[in-house]
Amino acid sequence: MINRQFLYSICFFFLVSSYSCSSQRKGQIKPLNAEIDSAPNIVWIVAEDMSANIAAFGDSTISTPILDQLAKEGVKYNNVYTPSPVCSPARSALITGMYPTALGTHNMRTGPWWDGVPSPARLERYERFTPKGVIAYEAVPPPKVKMFTEILRKSGYYTSNNSKEDYQFLKTATAWDACDDDADWRGRKSDQPFFSVFNLFATHESQIWERAEDNLLVDKDLEVPVPAYLPDTKISRRDIRRMYSNIVEMDKQVGDILDKLEADGLLDNTIIMWYTDHGGPFPRQKRSLHDSGIKVPMIIRHPDKQLVGTEDNRMISFVDFAPTILSLVGIKPPEYMQGKAFLGDFKREQEPKYIYAATDRFDKFYDQARAVRDKRFKYIKYYRPEIPIFFPIGYRENMAMMKELHRLREKDSLTEIQKIWFKPTKPSEVLYDTEKDPHEVVNLAGNPEYREMLLELREENAVFVKSIDDLGFINEKELIEKFWPNGIQPQTEQPIIDIDNNNIVSISCETNGATIGYRLNASPTVGSTDSWKIYSGEFQIKNGDVIEVVAHRIGFQPSTVKTVQHSRSKN
């Protein structure tokens, strides 16, 4: 096994030139098909709050040997976009294959639900940072919508999440086999295929200020690029070095996961997907519809070295991820998913011409903007041009760079590009040529040379928001009333358990869209953390068996757990 700590000590002094992820990796490659005994394992590695700031995507400021080698062994995807430039709405798209504005998960955030029942402290914080009268609520998607991991589990997959959820609704009891800080594939049955998610927090926005005084993993005088929309000052460069240092740490964490797969003899029959949940951590990145907020890097390494060392320039959205995972394992994606698979047995025949993104409420601040982008041009429609683009988001105000922007603004020392963000009003629409203007600072909407493109993307935006019945056009209090009548969360009905004279169990629930989970003889005691099996049809039990049953529809309160000990003898 390669000593990665030694590797990183070398990297610290900028002496690393290459690293082989493939050395000492052996194992039988399994084909990608629908047979469960030969289905691929899949691992998602998700870095938070990060743009394409690694050498594999053209930024050679630092060395990230693990990701660089992963890219050499896999496929680099150069046109991947999130439909929302912030965590919770983006993750709701990943887990459902649907747009946040179609689900009602578009406001950031709807409640402190990201890892279970909220504590009083979280509720208090939510109330402080939320508009008056907006209660904490879970979004309630249409009844047919499922967390796609339920579909995987029904087909025989083991699923784990380590450990962030943050979907704007609580996970269903049946979504994961394991979901905690230690969750991985090791709890599965022998030879059971798995889908495992790892969320890497090292690059999160908060780590810019919370780790500001920590030792850097890059040189303290490292020359760093400063985007034109950010101030090029000592304070800004210090925060940017912190960002790169955090990326170095994240790269090491990716290596740790690959080491674990290798140690278990699984690396060479596992599809590795590394990507980030939205753009970078700095002002006008996270929460922004510019590419700095919605464009993300992605690398996919196939177990049989398919497409090794290649690049893919197709337009891909997060809504495409769920159907793609299902397609890769041979499951036809359900019709309700708005995304389309870009790999696997059911991959789409044609690349989409456009991708779409949206922003709405952030904390107490309401805005509404929609973006449409082809491979070159970006159109943004601002539905509230009378207010600034900038909002003083309390969380972001902790950042030294944000304070620096305020300081320079008060001195009237910002550049003309930096001033755009702070203007008291904004245009109703903007058009950018992202090829000539990658930072999106030159608005072409009034330029007659680009009139045709403006009209095309303007019309496409209007058609799209209508086609998905965009819920951002509903006042949030009205939306809450739609989801939770009279402010009361709907309740999943109690499951109905029937056991016939042949000890055959059938279970039903009258709540439309509810998934039913059951446990049989959970150990060591009833009510343990044994994962719930998804009920998909009748099954037989024995006399004395104890069965637990729960029903849960996304956005509803789950039913209480119903427990029955079977005591009927077979006739």
Residues classed as catalytic: 87
Q: In what order do the strands lie in the sheet with 546-552?
A: 533-534, 515-520, 546-552, 562-565
User: Which whole-number Å values give the CA distances from 128 to 110, 125, 134, 364, 403, in the listed order?
Assistant: 13, 5, 11, 9, 21
Host H or E run for residue 21: none
Contact 66, 255 (CB under 8 A): yes
Residue 372 CA from chain centroid, whole number: 20
> Which residue bears the tokens 């603004």?
409
Token pair in block for residue 253: 């964490």
What type of residue sits at position 513?
G
**Residues near 215 by beta carbon (within 8 Å), at least 6 away in sequence:** none
**Residues near 142 by beta carbon (within 8 Å), at least 6 away in sequence:** 336, 513
Q: Identify whether 283 is preceded by a cis peptide bond (ω within 30 of 0).
A: no
Look at residue 513 and give its three-state secondary structure.
Answer: coil
Task: Determine how many CB atoms are found less than 10 A away from the CB of residue 524.
Answer: 6
Burial 118-148 (b: 16+ CB within 10 A, else e): beeebeeebeeebeeebebbbbbbeeebbbb
Task: Determine how many CB atoms are found less than 10 A away from the CB of residue 265.
Answer: 12
Backbone φ and ψ of 443, nearest 5°: -80, 120
Round to whole Å and give the CA distance between 244 and 222.
10
Look at the alpha carbons of 88, 362, 339, 337 in this order and tell me if their dihedral is positive or negative.
positive
**Residues near 9 by beta carbon (within 8 Å), at least 6 away in sequence:** none
